[in-house]
Amino acid sequence: MQIVKKRILVVDDEKLIVKGLKYSLEQDGYEVECAYDGNQGLEMAKQNDYDIILLDIMLPEMDGLMVCQHIREFSNVPIIMLTAKCDDMDKILGLDYGADDYITKPFNILEVKARIKAIMRRNVKQDNFQRKVIEVRDLKLDCESRRAFVSDKEVYLTSKEFDVLELLVLNQDKVYSRDELLSIVWGYEYPGDARTVDVHVRRLREKIEPNPSEPIYILTKWGSGYYFKK
């Protein structure tokens, strides 16, 4: 039986970094394609199916944040942002635009591989779940295909956005603190902080709520955390 290789798109204008990533990832059996500016990366993402995208923030033609935002208009492919900046707000901004994770340059290639494998394992695990569709009012979640619909219209969620929403929907009226959500969805080893959770909840509200400023699905328990209203 032929083994289908996982496809990775690397978008970065630093050719030495791209060359190193491509070589190292191909050694692990991935199929790697490369782009060197934002426009090229976006076009390749439109024309091909990738299992994950490594996307630099500082790119010519179109910066990585805008590329990420445009990709989210048509795909929920996992995106890991590569950033040379150490400012936490840059990292949070990357997540705000739809990224699933970030790695700060200079990075250890072993860390990159570990992040990629974690996302791959999570997706395989989800693919092996028994088909389950959850419907709450106008919201529908297909837990097998990891797709979400509002009033029968599909909304594109990042993998982490879907993980947060699925957890809350499956445990309706249970309040999760920011730290609990960070631990369950991102894992204990995740270097981020509770603001990451706030960003993802805000983005979810923008996508699934009729009026994000007056949510009916994901509610805030002040001083405690977030919960999904039955």
What is the domain-level CATH number for residue 116? 3.40.50.2300
Instruction: With respect to residue 191, please indicate whether it lies within any of the assigned structural domains.
Output: yes
Is residue 106 very low, low, confident or very high in pLDDT (cuts 50, 70, 90)? confident
**Mean pLDDT across 78-89:** 78
The pTM score is 0.64
- Note whether 118 and 190 are same-domain residues: no
CA atoms within 13 A on the CB side of 110: 0
Domain assignment present for residue 1? The answer is no
Residue 130 confidence (pLDDT) = 44
Average pLDDT for 90-117: 83
Q: Of 94, 126, 158, at which residue does a domain stop?
A: 126
Task: Render pLDDT for 209-222 as a digit per residue (tens, 0 to 9).
Answer: 999 999 999 999 99
Q: What's residue 2's pLDDT?
A: 42
Residue 106 to residue 102: CA distance in whole angstroms: 12
One domain, residues 140 and 172: yes
**Sign of the CA dihedral with 119 first, then 162, 100, and 33 last:** positive
Is the model more confident about 84 or about 62?
62
How many CB atoms are closer than 10 A to CB 196?
24
pLDDT for the residue 25: 94
Nearest to 50 by CA among 27, 78, 73, 29: 78
Is there a single domain that holds both residue 111 and residue 15? yes
Count of the separate structural domains present in the chain: 2
Q: Which helix (H) or strand (E) holds 102?
A: strand 101-104
- What is residue 92's predicted lDDT score, i.e. its pLDDT? 67
Using the 3D structure, point to which of 126, 148, 182 is the last residue of a domain: 126
Query: pLDDT tens digits for 107-132?
Result: 889 989 988 888 777 665 444 444 47
Chain Cα centroid distance, residue 83: 16
* 166-207 pLDDT per residue, tens: 999 988 999 999 988 988 888 755 556 778 899 999 999 999
- Tell me whether residue 183 is in a domain: yes
Spatial CB neighbours of 194, under 8 Å, sequence gap ≥ 6: 178, 179, 182
**Residue 2 located in a structural domain:** no
Same structural domain for residues 107 and 78? Answer: yes
Contact 28, 38 (CB under 8 A): no
Q: Which domain holds residue 89?
A: 7-126
Q: Is 132 exposed, middle or buried (0-12, 13-18, 19+ CB in 10 A)?
A: exposed
Please provide the average confidence, as pLDDT, over all residues in the chain: 86
Q: Judge whether residue 16 has pLDDT over 70.
A: yes
Domain boundary among 126, 157, 192: 126
Q: Which long-range contacts (CB under 8 A, 24 or more apart) does 16-24 make?
A: 17/82, 17/105, 20/109, 21/54, 21/109, 21/112, 24/109, 24/112, 24/113
- Tokens 């439109």 sit on residue: 46
Average confidence (pLDDT) over 124-148 = 75
Is the domain of 11 the same as that of 119? yes
Q: Quick one: 156 and 136 in the same domain?
A: yes
Most confident of 39-43, 98-102, 140-144, 149-153: 39-43
